[in-house]
């Protein structure tokens, strides 16, 4: 049995310690907002926060999360989720939508650290996240807008 | 006689309509829906298969097409909401079940493809909304004892004088009224939703907060995850595998042989994956073991030397060529490509004695029903499909043989378990259904003005349509029109008196199928590269040259001029930068792209800017059009720069995004899209600009460096300095 904290809730899961966090949260906890895209830390669709760090949950064994706090798109703190989701809606970013939760989780880390990211900052923070539909231009706009919304809220 | 294979995508649609029995507009409400609704709703107005209005004022649109990122969740709903005068903010949308009521008006099966959803549904969806509105108005008029022409509708209300009533209050009375045979549609001048800028996508919120359900997210109690060890080449055979080793993995429940390979069923993804690895399947690849990319390319060239089946044959192109003022010979090669949607394939199946239930993201519900019926022995109407959001498709979920659905049903049948198949990224990249590799070779003679007067062409590549549902319409006298799509029908080619266009179609054991834009994904690169070479050969500016070629094609000329204007074509650029243009008709729309690029010292390509002009007829959801242009430009750039599937001894060499790279955010150029205002019938959008991106890029590289790129992918430009 492995003890986990996900989005502030305690869970006890009966899984092997090498099972990636992604499959624990998707298959065992049924939190399906976090997506499987590559299984090789190549696309960022599975991005979650582990003790505040953005990680690729598809290659991170669940043993790594013991005693730490996992945050998924379902539990992203409002100070970040509110401006990001508002901006993503305003710019109408998604096409197929499959990668977008991972994009938002990656953007959340950027926004937490940087209230006014430049295009270069966005490139640096977001180049690990693939969008096959090619919504990058809108992701960029949405991050700028989210930063603006966050600044005006504080 | 009409030359074989000489039809455009528009004509294809018309011909398909004829062979499938004409344009079908069915308005009946499927019995299954009526029954299900009766169980859960006490009062529901179902004027037709596409619309349900609840007593709570809810307006639910049922989509016959699937949402895969192209935006029909919103744009088709706009058509209904406009005619219904619905409250846009109360609209709910869901995928329709698989049923004859939702057959494509042209394809005569339930299918999403060919960028045809708005083109084919423009009338039917508006009529669905207008019919409902008519009945609601009649119900209100009866209630108020006034004439229906004294009533109007607005935002979910029927209004007459100082009286008003919500649609939800009228559902019982409206349900009792007979449906009108025909109803007039609104005057476009009075549209409040169609064509408006401010409309937001209806599926964005749930895709942003993670609540949207993709096929991958389906969970059925008792379900096992299945992973299949399979090969991407046909004709392969299993020699041996270690079932005991797989069963020894904790969580693995069953191992079963199925037609496509060996399936491992387990409690979850991770156990299934480890179980599959433990199988250590040995394969006999048979004939396919000889597949090597080098030898395939050699064979393409040998076949081009040999000639093929004539698609057009007129006059004496050789003689005219020899007398031509300018002569040009060029050959273009494009590789096999994977679609690589972000959501790997998956399919959930629950099979019982009397029904087969399927949950998946698919473009081909009817084909899938037929496949499942064939495997299970059940009648087609006992195969129920819940279409989930598609995490991208680009043709991978529009497969002639329903490969991934078929496989999941086989596993359910063989095991009796509720099963969800999950493909890994490696399975996706290596699992076939590729865009075929193509070689296009040209020999063109131009007169003193630069106009082509003789045209010889041989194209070589596998046929996508042969063996599929559209073979009868698309393959004429041995020529698959999709193999040379948009080439023999190019307006200036049709006018060339001395021409011969041939097609040579190899049959290789490489699994090929639909890939975004199908034939246009490779034919536009060849044509627009060649046209650019023709322009330079006769020392004309590439835009001026195309103006001459397209002087009688006003809509193409329109986007060409608009793209040139908006990109400041001809204005000075910093040293090392170049602009390239490509303009073509695709899926009944017209798109011109101008790319602005530079090539770095190490040969890598930097795309600074892409200007897009699009004439898609009436733009129903303008921001959706812009989004598709942006996305297609990214998709086309990925393809031109990086994408290539290669074979070695029958095995696909690429595995994951590290060796099948996809464009990333720092590589995405600034894109500016301009829509030509138009009231023409809506054309396609999802596939309208992918093909133009590749030649716009390589033409720009030529302008910047003088290096002409005739083979894709580019990877790096050989600048001779690195």
- A88 and A64 within one domain: no
Q: Is pLDDT at B312 greater than 90 in this prediction?
A: yes
Contact B428, B395 (CB under 8 A): no
Q: Is pLDDT at B681 greater than 80 in this prediction?
A: yes
In a domain, B673, yes or no: yes
- A6 and A67 within one domain: yes
pLDDT of residue B415: 98
Residues B108-164 have pLDDT tens digits of 899 999 999 998 899 999 999 999 999 999 999 999 999 999 999 999 999 999 999
B residues 212-241 near A, CB within 8 Å?
A: 212-214, 216-217, 219, 225
Nearest CA in chain A to B656: A38
pLDDT of residue B38: 55
The reply to whether residue B343 touches residue A139, judged by beta carbons under 8 angstroms, is: no
Residue B579 is encoded by which pair of tokens?
């602009």
Average pLDDT over residues B456-462: 98
B80 membership: H or E segment, kind and range: helix B72-84
In a domain, B4, yes or no: no
Q: Is pLDDT at B691 greater than 50 in this prediction?
A: yes
Nearest alpha carbon to residue B587 among B531, B625, B637: B625
- B137 and B46 within one domain: yes
- B194 and B140 within one domain: yes
The CA–CA distances, whole Å, from B289 to B236, B298, B650 equal 9, 17, 4
* CATH number of the domain to which A149 belongs: 1.10.150.120
Please state, in angstroms and rounded to a whole number, the distance separating the CA atoms of residues B340 and B343.
8
In a domain, B564, yes or no: yes
In a domain, B277, yes or no: yes
Expressed as residue numbers, the domain containing B518 is: 293-336+434-705
Please state, in angstroms and rounded to a whole number, the distance separating the CA atoms of residues B444 and B326.
8
Count interface pairs A-B at CB distance under 8 A: 185
**A127: nearest CB among B341, B393, B666:** B666
B442 membership: H or E segment, kind and range: strand B438-446
- A57 and A13 within one domain: yes
The reply to whether residue B668 touches residue A137, judged by beta carbons under 8 angstroms, is: yes
- B168 and B260 within one domain: no
- B596 and B453 within one domain: yes
Please state, in angstroms and rounded to a whole number, the distance separating the CA atoms of residues B366 and B64.
11
pLDDT of residue B42: 54
pLDDT of residue A34: 98
What confidence tier does B212 reach under pLDDT thresholds 50, 70, 90? very high
- B34 and B62 within one domain: yes
Q: Is pLDDT at B16 greater than 80 in this prediction?
A: no
Q: What angle separates helix A100-113 from helix A136-153, to the nearest 10 degrees? A: 40
- A60 and A14 within one domain: yes
Give B305→chain A minimum CA distance, Å: 37
> How confident is the prediction for chain B on average, in pLDDT?
93
B residues 621-650 near A, CB within 8 Å?
A: 623, 627-628, 630-635, 638
- B226 and B332 within one domain: no
What confidence tier does B31 reach under pLDDT thresholds 50, 70, 90? low
Nearest CA in chain A to B631: A134
B76 membership: H or E segment, kind and range: helix B72-84
Residues B249-278 have pLDDT tens digits of 999 999 999 999 999 999 999 999 999 999
pLDDT of residue B552: 95
- A143 and A93 within one domain: yes
- B219 and B163 within one domain: no
The reply to whether residue B635 touches residue A94, judged by beta carbons under 8 angstroms, is: no
**B657: nearest CB among A28, A43, A135:** A43
Give A47→chain B minimum CA distance, Å: 12
* Cα-Cα end-to-end distance for chain B: 54
- A88 and A42 within one domain: no
The reply to whether residue B209 touches residue A72, judged by beta carbons under 8 angstroms, is: no
Residue pointed to by tokens 């599926």: B203
pLDDT of residue B106: 86
- B203 and B233 within one domain: no
Collapsing DSSP to helix, strand or coil, B142 comes out as helix
Residues B276-309 have pLDDT tens digits of 999 999 998 888 888 999 999 999 999 999 999 9
Q: Is pLDDT at B479 greater than 70 in this prediction?
A: yes
Please state, in angstroms and rounded to a whole number, the distance separating the CA atoms of residues B373 and B381.
9
Give A14→chain B minimum CA distance, Å: 11
What confidence tier does B17 reach under pLDDT thresholds 50, 70, 90? low
- A92 and A144 within one domain: yes
Count up the domains in chain B and report the number: 3
- B163 and B275 within one domain: no
B146 touches chain A (CB under 8 A): no
B residues 193-212 near A, CB within 8 Å?
A: 200-201, 203-205, 207-212
Give A15→chain B minimum CA distance, Å: 9
Chain A residues within 8 A of B671 when measuring between CB atoms: 137
The reply to whether residue A43 touches residue B211, judged by beta carbons under 8 angstroms, is: no
pLDDT of residue B718: 84
Please give the share of chain B, as a percent, with pLDDT higher than 90. Answer: 85
Give B474→chain A minimum CA distance, Å: 28
The reply to whether residue A42 touches residue B663, judged by beta carbons under 8 angstroms, is: no
- B145 and B91 within one domain: yes
What confidence tier does B41 reach under pLDDT thresholds 50, 70, 90? low
How crowded is residue B239: how many other Cβ atoms within 10 Å of its Cβ?
9
What confidence tier does B7 reach under pLDDT thresholds 50, 70, 90? low
- B251 and B327 within one domain: no
- B173 and B107 within one domain: yes
pLDDT of residue B21: 53
- A39 and A88 within one domain: no
**A126: nearest CB among B657, B662, B665:** B665
The reply to whether residue A134 touches residue B250, judged by beta carbons under 8 angstroms, is: no
Expressed as residue numbers, the domain containing A64 is: 2-75
**B204: nearest CB among A36, A89, A140:** A89
* CATH number of the domain to which A50 belongs: 3.10.20.30
Residues B355-408 have pLDDT tens digits of 999 999 999 999 999 999 999 999 999 999 999 999 999 999 998 889 999 999
* CATH number of the domain to which B385 belongs: 3.30.365.10
Q: Is pLDDT at B35 greater than 80 in this prediction?
A: no
Beta bridge partners of B92: B60
Could you say which residues of chain A have pLDDT below 70? Answer: none
pLDDT of residue B231: 77
- A100 and A53 within one domain: no
* B450-463: b (≥16 Cβ within 10 Å) or e: bbbbbbbbbbbbbb
Chain A residues within 8 A of B340 when measuring between CB atoms: 132
Chain B residues within 8 A of A139 when measuring between CB atoms: 665
The reply to whether residue B343 touches residue A98, judged by beta carbons under 8 angstroms, is: yes
B residues 278-337 near A, CB within 8 Å?
A: none
Please state, in angstroms and rounded to a whole number, the distance separating the CA atoms of residues B126 and B81.
8
Please state, in angstroms and rounded to a whole number, the distance separating the CA atoms of residues B181 and B127.
11
What confidence tier does B236 reach under pLDDT thresholds 50, 70, 90? confident
B residues 380-409 near A, CB within 8 Å?
A: 389-394
The reply to whether residue B665 touches residue A73, judged by beta carbons under 8 angstroms, is: no
Domain end residue (candidates: A75, A101, A123): A75
Domain end residue (candidates: B166, B189, B208): B208
Domain end residue (candidates: A32, A50, A75): A75
- A9 and A40 within one domain: yes
Count up the domains in chain A and report the number: 2
What confidence tier does B624 reach under pLDDT thresholds 50, 70, 90? very high
Question: C-alpha A82: how far from its chain's center?
Answer: 14
Q: Is pLDDT at B349 greater than 80 in this prediction?
A: yes
Residue B187 is encoded by which pair of tokens?
């005057």
- A99 and A148 within one domain: yes
């Amino acid at each position: 049995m492995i003890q986990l904290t996900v989005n502030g809730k305690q869970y006890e899961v009966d899984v092997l310690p090498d099972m990636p966090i992604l499959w624990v949260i998707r298959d065992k906890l049924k939190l399906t907002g976090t997506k499987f895209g590559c299984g090789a830390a190549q696309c960022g669709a599975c991005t979650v926060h582990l003790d505040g760090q953005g990680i690729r949950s598809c290659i991170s064994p669940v043993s790594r999360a013991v005693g730490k706090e996992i945050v998924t798109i379902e539990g992203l703190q409002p100070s970040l989720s509110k401006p990001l989701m508002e901006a993503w809606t305003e710019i109408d970013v998604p096409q197929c939508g499959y990668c977008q939760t991972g994009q938002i989780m990656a953007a959340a880390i950027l926004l937490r650290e940087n209230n006014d990211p430049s295009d270069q900052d966005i490139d640096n923070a977001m180049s690990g996240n693939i969008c096959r539909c090619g919504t990058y231009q809108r992701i960029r706009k949405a991050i700028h807008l989210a930063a603006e919304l966050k600044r005006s809220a504080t | 006689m009409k030359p074989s294979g000489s039809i455009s995508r528009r004509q294809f649609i018309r011909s398909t309509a004829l062979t499938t029995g004409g344009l079908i507009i069915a308005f009946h409400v499927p019995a299954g829906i009526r029954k299900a609704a009766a169980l859960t709703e006490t009062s529901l107005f179902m004027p037709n298969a596409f619309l349900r209005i609840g007593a709570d004022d809810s307006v639910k649109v049922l989509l016959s097409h699937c949402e895969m990122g192209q935006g029909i969740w919103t744009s088709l709903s706009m058509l209904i909401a406009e005619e219904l005068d619905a409250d846009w903010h109360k609209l709910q949308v869901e995928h329709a079940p698989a049923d004859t009521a939702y057959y494509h008006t042209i394809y005569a099966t339930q299918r999403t493809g060919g960028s045809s959803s708005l083109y084919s549904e423009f009338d039917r969806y508006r009529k669905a909304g207008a019919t409902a509105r008519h009945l609601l108005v009649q119900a209100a008029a009866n209630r108020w004892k006034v004439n229906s022409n004294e009533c109007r509708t607005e935002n979910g209300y029927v209004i007459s004088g100082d009286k008003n009533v919500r649609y939800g209050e009228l559902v019982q009375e409206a349900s009792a009224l007979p449906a009108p045979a025909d109803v007039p549609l609104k005057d476009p001048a009075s549209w409040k939703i169609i064509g408006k800028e401010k409309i937001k996508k209806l599926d964005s919120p749930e895709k942003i907060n993670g609540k949207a359900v993709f096929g991958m997210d389906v969970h059925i109690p008792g379900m096992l995850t299945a992973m299949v060890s399979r090969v991407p080449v046909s004709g392969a055979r299993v020699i041996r595998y270690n079932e005991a080793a797989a069963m020894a993995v904790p969580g693995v429940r069953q191992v079963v042989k199925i037609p496509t390979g060996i399936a491992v069923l387990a409690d979850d993804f991770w156990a299934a994956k480890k179980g599959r690895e433990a199988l250590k399947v040995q394969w006999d690849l048979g004939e396919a073991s000889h597949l090597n990319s080098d030898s395939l390319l050699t064979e393409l060239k040998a076949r081009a030397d040999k000639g093929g089946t004539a698609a057009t044959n007129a006059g004496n192109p050789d003689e005219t060529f020899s007398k031509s003022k300018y002569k040009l010979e060029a050959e273009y090669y494009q590789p096999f490509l994977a679609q690589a949607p972000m959501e790997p394939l998956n399919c959930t199946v629950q099979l019982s004695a009397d029904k087969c239930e399927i949950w998946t993201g698919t473009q081909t519900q009817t084909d899938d029903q037929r496949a499942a019926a064939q495997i299970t022995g059940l009648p087609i109407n006992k195969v129920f499909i819940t279409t989930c959001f598609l995490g991208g498709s680009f043709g991978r979920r529009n497969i002639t043989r329903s490969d991934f659905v078929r496989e999941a049903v086989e596993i359910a049948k063989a095991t009796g378990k509720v099963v969800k198949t999950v493909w890994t990224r490696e399975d996706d990249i290596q699992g076939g259904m590729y865009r075929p590799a193509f070689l296009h070779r040209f020999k063109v003679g131009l007169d003193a003005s630069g106009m082509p007067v003789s045209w010889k062409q041989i194209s070589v590549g596998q046929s996508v349509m042969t063996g599929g549902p559209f073979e009868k319409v698309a393959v004429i006298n041995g020529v698959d029109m999709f193999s040379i799509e948009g080439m023999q029908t190019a307006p200036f080619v049709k006018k060339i008196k001395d021409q011969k266009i041939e097609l040579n179609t190899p049959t290789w054991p490489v699994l090929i199928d639909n890939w975004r834009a199908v034939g246009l994904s490779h034919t536009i690169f060849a044509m627009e590269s060649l046209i650019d070479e023709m322009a330079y050969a006769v020392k004309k500016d590439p835009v001026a040259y195309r103006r001459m070629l397209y002087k009688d094609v006003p809509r193409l000329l329109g986007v060409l001029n608009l793209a040139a204007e908006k990109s400041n074509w001809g204005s000075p650029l910093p040293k090392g930068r170049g602009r390239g243009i490509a303009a073509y008709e695709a899926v009944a729309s017209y798109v011109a792209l101008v790319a602005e690029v530079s090539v770095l010292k190490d040969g890598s390509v930097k795309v600074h800017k892409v200007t897009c002009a699009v004439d898609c007829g009436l733009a129903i959801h303008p921001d959706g059009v812009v989004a598709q242009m942006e996305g297609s430009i990214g998709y086309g750039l990925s393809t031109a720069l990086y994408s290539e599937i290669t074979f070695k001894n029958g095995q696909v060499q690429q595995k994951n995004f590290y060796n099948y790279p996809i464009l990333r955010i720092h590589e995405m150029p600034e894109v500016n899209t301009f829509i030509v205002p138009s009231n023409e019938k809506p054309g396609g959008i999802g596939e309208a600009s992918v093909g133009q991106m590749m030649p716009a890029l390589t033409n720009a590289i030529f302008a910047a460096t003088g290096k002409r790129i005739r083979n894709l992918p580019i990877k790096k430009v050989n600048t001779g300095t690195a």
